């Protein structure tokens, strides 16, 4: 009631990538730099997510669960210490990993998050090949699909689908160039196919935008040069907003 009387609606505990809240109901794409990989290489993708309590009440028993395909070998990384940064101390944060035949679940638990508290959780797993939701040029299909679920005592579980995709590049600037020249047109054509004429026309009329992220990371190699592991946390994240609904595609193009 206090939030209402003060002219502020109650917020909730939610997920961010750095300072940007993640949208619900649509996949979140995060592109990351990778070198050209030898055949059968395995590359570990850092998964960095911020929990933020945007309410005036403490969030009790907050649980962030990251669901991975078991083939990512996340369960084999259970003994590796994971990094937490934020306003809570390490003794206030617990993590555990469990798995079944198909999936692995990395659980991060916070007994209490006070109003305004934020926690940066760093996790990760090995990318899988053969993802086909990006153009083949400079994107060899190495990716990681993560289902992030968040709940508290007073907030039912809500989820986000985060899709990490590798791009052969050495910087965020090179990823941006790839987005402009290849990925943007790929998404526009794909949406035109999926939405049909009226759906795509409506998206163009509303000037709908898509948010995507990228980060640059340096990888070290083991002696076999098969395993690529991040040498440090990503140096910076970038957010891009672009309009995939373009007038030229309303009536279709050669790929539609």
Domains of the chain: 13-249 (2.60.40.10)
Report if pTM > 0.95.
no
| E runs forming strands in 114-200 | 118-126, 143-152, 155-168
CB 143 within 8 A of CB 59: no
How far apart are the C-alpha atoms of 182 and 240, rounded to whole Å? 14
Question: What's the pLDDT tens digit per position in 138-185?
Answer: 777 789 999 999 999 988 888 999 999 999 999 999 999 988 888 877
Most confident of 11-25, 152-166, 199-213: 152-166
Average pLDDT in the 223-246 region?
Answer: 83
Q: At CA 212, angle to CA 8 and CA 162, rounded to 5?
A: 85
Tokens of 120: 């940066």
How far apart are the C-alpha atoms of 168 and 172, rounded to whole Å? 11
Pick from 46, 12, 233, 27: which is nearest to 147 by CA?
Answer: 27
Which DSSP symbol is given to 78?
T
Q: Is 198 exposed, middle or buried (0-12, 13-18, 19+ CB in 10 A)?
A: exposed
């Amino acid at each position: 009631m206090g939030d209402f009387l003060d002219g502020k609606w109650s917020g909730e505990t939610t997920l961010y990538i750095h300072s940007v809240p993640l949208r619900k109901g649509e996949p979140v794409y995060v592109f990351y730099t990778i070198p050209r990989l030898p055949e059968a290489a395995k590359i570990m993708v850092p998964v960095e997510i911020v929990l933020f309590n945007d309410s005036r009440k403490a969030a009790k028993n907050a649980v962030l669960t990251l669901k991975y395909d078991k083939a990512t070998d996340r369960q084999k990384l259970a003994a590796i210490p994971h990094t937490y940064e934020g306003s809570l101390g390490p003794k206030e944060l617990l993590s555990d990993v469990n798995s079944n035949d198909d999936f692995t679940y990395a659980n991060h638990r916070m007994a209490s998050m006070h109003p305004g508290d934020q926690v940066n959780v760093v996790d990760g797993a090995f990318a899988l090949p053969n993802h086909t939701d990006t153009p083949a040029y400079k994107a060899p299909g190495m990716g990681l699909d993560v289902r992030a679920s968040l709940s508290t005592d007073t907030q039912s579980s809500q989820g986000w689908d985060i899709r990490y995709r590798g791009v052969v590049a050495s910087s965020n600037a090179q990823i941006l160039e790839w987005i402009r020249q290849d990925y943007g047109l790929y998404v526009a054509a794909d949406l035109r196919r999926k939405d049909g004429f009226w759906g795509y026309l409506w998206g163009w009329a509303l000037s709908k935008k898509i948010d995507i992220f990228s980060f640059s990371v340096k990888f070290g190699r083991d002696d076999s040069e098969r395993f690529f592991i991040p040498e440090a946390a990503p140096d910076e994240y970038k957010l891009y907003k672009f309009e995939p609904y373009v007038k030229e595609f309303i009536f279709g193009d050669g790929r539609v």
